[in-house]
Amino acid sequence: MYTMITEEKSMNYVDIIIIAIILIYVLVGYFKGFVVSILSLFSFPIKLIVSILVAKPALMLVNGVFGLDVSLASSITAKYTKISPLFGQSMADMTQAEIDAHINNCLEATNYHNTAKSFLKSVFPIKEGHSAYTFGDVLGKTFGSFYSFVITLIAVFIILTLVIFIIKRVSKKLNEKSVLIKHTDRTLGLVVGLIRGIITVFVILTTLSWLRSLSFLDNFFVAVDTSFLGGFITRITSGFIDKYVNIKEIAKWFIGNTLQ
């Protein structure tokens, strides 16, 4: 992806910036402590991802024990049946043309916007001979499963947030009661800060490497390559960058697969 500078390495302003970034993370980690530093990694996006992963197995438990999806499906089906008796009509013996017309008639009986009607038609492409259900059943089962997942996801997210909050509170109380625990927590927090600082520097330099083609940054990259720490990190990341985050190669792969 780029050629390495072979000049002798020496300390320069790039090293000072790298050391400053790492020191900031070390200080923040020390004063936050180990527990809070680890839990602070759980930002909203991370908590959401963890919640989604946990919600999938939790959904099986919720639906199996409490039958949430079945209850929601019955409620939604009943709601549509009240809107029009067409939603309660079986599609088992209908031809494809009759099924399409039936779905259209069902949706026309609602007060949904045309955009919502078109969306529902595209989401439920029911084929001839593949449905012994009513359209109300189809909507009920689908939305029931979806809503049960959303409810479970929200519940898991709230529980995760509460657990993190409780752990932080307990950690704070323990630090206030014991000097040994406090010092141990802060020392370990320092280590976490150091690791986060190093990772951040690696990420920054990896990201900046994508801008090497910009001529006005030539002097900066010379400084990076000839710096003691910057040059060391660049040597470590160069192979990884070329193999996994080479934008040109990724674009070539994507375009090649898209056009197939």
Q: What is the per-residue pLDDT across 49-106, written as a single tens digit (0 to 9) for each?
A: 888 889 888 988 888 888 888 999 999 999 999 999 999 988 888 888 888 899 899 9
In a domain, 108, yes or no: no
Domain assignment present for residue 255? The answer is: no
Q: What is the pLDDT of residue 132?
A: 64
Q: How far does CA 94 lie from the centroid of its chain?
A: 42
The verdict on residue 100 lying in a domain is: no
Cβ atoms of 88 and 102 closer than 8 Å: no
3-state DSSP call for residue 134? strand
Task: Answer yes or no: is 95 within a domain.
Answer: no
Structure tokens at 165: 């909050």
| Domain extent for 55 | 13-89+134-212
Tell whether 85 is covered by a domain: yes
Identify whether 103 is part of a domain: no
What type of residue sits at position 224? V
DSSP letters, 18-32, are HHHHHHHHHHHHHHH
Helix (H, G, I), strand (E, B) or coil at 130: coil
Higher per-residue confidence, 44 vs 194: 194
Q: Confidence band (pLDDT; 50, 70, 90) for 6? A: very low
Residue 27 above 60 pLDDT? yes
Domain assignment present for 105: no
Alpha-carbon distance of 140 to 100, in angstroms, equals 18
Predicted confidence at residue 180, as pLDDT, reads 85
Q: Let me know if residue 2 belongs to a domain.
A: no
User: Domain count of the chain?
Assistant: 1
Q: Are 40 and 102 in contact (CB under 8 A)?
A: no
The 10s digit of each residue's pLDDT in 243-257 is: 555 555 545 554 455
d(CA 228, CA 207): 19
Range in 12-16, 85-89, 185-189, 232-236 the model is least confident about: 232-236
